[in-house]
Amino acid sequence: MSDTRPRGETFEYAGATVELIDAATLLAAARVNPVDLLRTATWPEPVQRVDLTVSSADRPGGPVHTFAASISTAEEPLSKERIRKLVLGNDPVGLLLAKRIEAGDPIATRIVDGVGAAAAAAYKKLGLDRQTQPVTNREPGTLADAVVGLQAELTYDETGTVVRLHAEVPRDEVTTAHLQAFVGLTLQAVIELAGPDALTGRRFVISRENLSKEAPTTQTVTLDMVGGLADVVSELRQIAVSFRHPEAMARWGARRPQGILMYGPPGTGKTMLSRALANEIGADFREIRTPEILDKWLGGSERNIKQIFRDARRYRVPTLILFDEFDSIISYAGAGGDAASQAINAVAGIFKQEMNDLIEANPNVIVVATTNFPHRVDDSLIRSGRFDVKISVPKPDEPSRAEIFRKMVRGLIAAHEAPGFQMFADDLDLAALAAASHGMTGADIKEILRRVQLSKAMQDARTGGQVSPITTDELLASVRELLGPR
């Protein structure tokens, strides 16, 4: 049995069925980029459209998830189309003009635009533009869901045609129940406009349909996507909490970690974890690669690293700085007498000096360094408290590999499956895949999937569709292929 497919939760609201698909991923994605929902749904009169957006914001008390809905009862307010309809009506000249507009006559179009603007002004003066609209300047209010304790503020725009709902939940507390409650409140507002039975028999699907598909893995990496490594993930969550609550830290005289050193074999997820931590904190992510620092000219590397820290002291927004492949920047291996080693030693010296008071100088910054070779990293960096957290990121064991497979497959399904297109078979045998992939890392598992995806896509391209979903056997074959002849 496999539980790879993201399951939807379905709930009933006022006779309508609402399906929430993979709401947890959706909430996680909203931390990074606003997520738009319901945009493509159809609504009972007079509601024309509903935009529901989940996004993230920073408040003095910490980051929050914001839920916003706008319910519009006007067609595009005073759009050219609407004015044309209004102005032209059944008037014979109007009909003639309408025909010419349809034929693309630019003069006719300009005449109508002119007439339209004048007519719109007149209509507005007379107050006629409001006649067809049922909502007129109503008092702001609140809608509340008692079960999860969610309150949405209700406001109306000055034309009375748009109703807005707004609610916020602290990021540490937000759950899919909040999303569900907010959708319910939005539907309640729709019912107030359209009547008690207006939603009966309708079906709404809340899914990642509109999430950007280009960057599902790199930009929106979250800790939820990490397979295995439960201890590491929970430690990073703790660090994120301490970062987001400086006032609590100060009250107790506590100090949050300022530097984190992650070490382990290649492909085990160190870079991924750093990105996910940045997202968990709600921080910008700044990655420093070795070439950015090391410069063949005398003094160039020192200047570069000084510049990096000078910038870091000025960041106004929370920023995670990742020194990836840290050992090549600061390493014992470079402790020779040649010019290159001397340059590296000089860089290491500056680095240590800068790390001494960076966090005191700018509390917006947190530093992560990753390495495959912890023994090459100068001990004094860790002993001195410049890096106060040291995290080992080992290769995944068998249960962890099963979880990595499960999470990656789920992610691919969420990003690529659509009605009529099934990417993976329903009965993937994760245990068999985990057993077969002994010794492999998360990066290897990603590669296994990539190869099968590519071969399916090629088959699809050759045959024009009609390709069956990816099976366990196909994945196992890909595992064997990557392992190579033993």
Residue 227 partner contact from Mg ion, ligand ATP, none using kind-dependent CB cut-offs of 5 to 8 Å: ligand ATP
Report the b/e string of 377-392 with b at 16+ CB within 10 A.
bbeebbeeebbebebe
Helical segments of 195-265, H only: 230-244, 246-251
269 binds ligand ATP (CB under 6 A): yes
Closest CA to 350 of 336, 327, 330, 367: 330
In whole angstroms, the minimum distance from the beta carbon of 393 to Mg ion comes to 10
The packing angle between helices 106-126 and 80-88, to 10°, is: 80
Q: Are strands 16-21 and 203-206 parallel, antiparallel or unpaired?
A: parallel
Nearer to ligand ATP, 167 or 236 (CB): 236
268 binds ligand ATP (CB under 6 A): yes
Piece in contact with ligand ATP (CB under 6 A), picked from 163-171, 220-228, 238-246, 452-460? 220-228
- The residue whose two tokens read 């007149």 is 122
Contact with ligand ATP (CB under 6 A): which of 46, 63, 184, 228? Answer: 228
In whole angstroms, the minimum distance from the beta carbon of 411 to ligand ATP comes to 9
Token pair recorded at residue 298? 């005398």
216 binds ligand ATP (CB under 6 A): no
* CA 393 – CA 118 distance, rounded (Å): 69
Residues facing 154 on adjacent strands: 141, 165
Question: Cβ of 146: how many Cβ atoms within 10 Å?
Answer: 8
In whole angstroms, the minimum distance from the beta carbon of 243 to Mg ion comes to 22
In whole angstroms, the minimum distance from the beta carbon of 456 to ligand ATP comes to 19
Contact with Mg ion (CB under 5 A): which of 2, 72, 161, 271? Answer: 271
In whole angstroms, the minimum distance from the beta carbon of 28 to ligand ATP comes to 14
Count, residues near ligand ATP per rule CB under 6 A: 21
Nearer to Mg ion, 244 or 270 (CB): 270
Binders of ligand ATP among 270-289, rule CB under 6 A? 270-272
Nearer to ligand ATP, 403 or 429 (CB): 403
367 contacts 260 by C-beta, under 8 angstroms: yes
DSSP 374: G
> x/- site string to ligand ATP, residues 26 to 65, per CB under 6 A?
----------------------------------------
In whole angstroms, the minimum distance from the beta carbon of 428 to ligand ATP comes to 16
Contact with ligand ATP (CB under 6 A): which of 18, 229, 261, 414? Answer: 229
Nearer to Mg ion, 274 or 472 (CB): 274
In whole angstroms, the minimum distance from the beta carbon of 271 to Mg ion comes to 3
Phi, psi of 48 (to 5 degrees): -95, -45
Question: Cβ of 441: how many Cβ atoms within 10 Å?
Answer: 21
226 binds ligand ATP (CB under 6 A): yes
145 contacts 38 by C-beta, under 8 angstroms: no
- The number of C-alpha atoms within 13 Å of 476 and in the hemisphere containing its C-beta is 12
How many residues are present in the chain? 486
In whole angstroms, the minimum distance from the beta carbon of 410 to ligand ATP comes to 11
Phi, psi of 371 (to 5 degrees): -155, 150
Contact with ligand ATP (CB under 6 A): which of 245, 446, 456, 480? Answer: 446
Sign of the dihedral through C-alpha 173, 214, 219, 308: negative
Using CB under 6 A as the criterion, which residues of the chain lie in contact with ligand ATP when the complex forms?
A: 217, 226-229, 266-272, 370, 372, 396, 404, 407, 441-443, 446
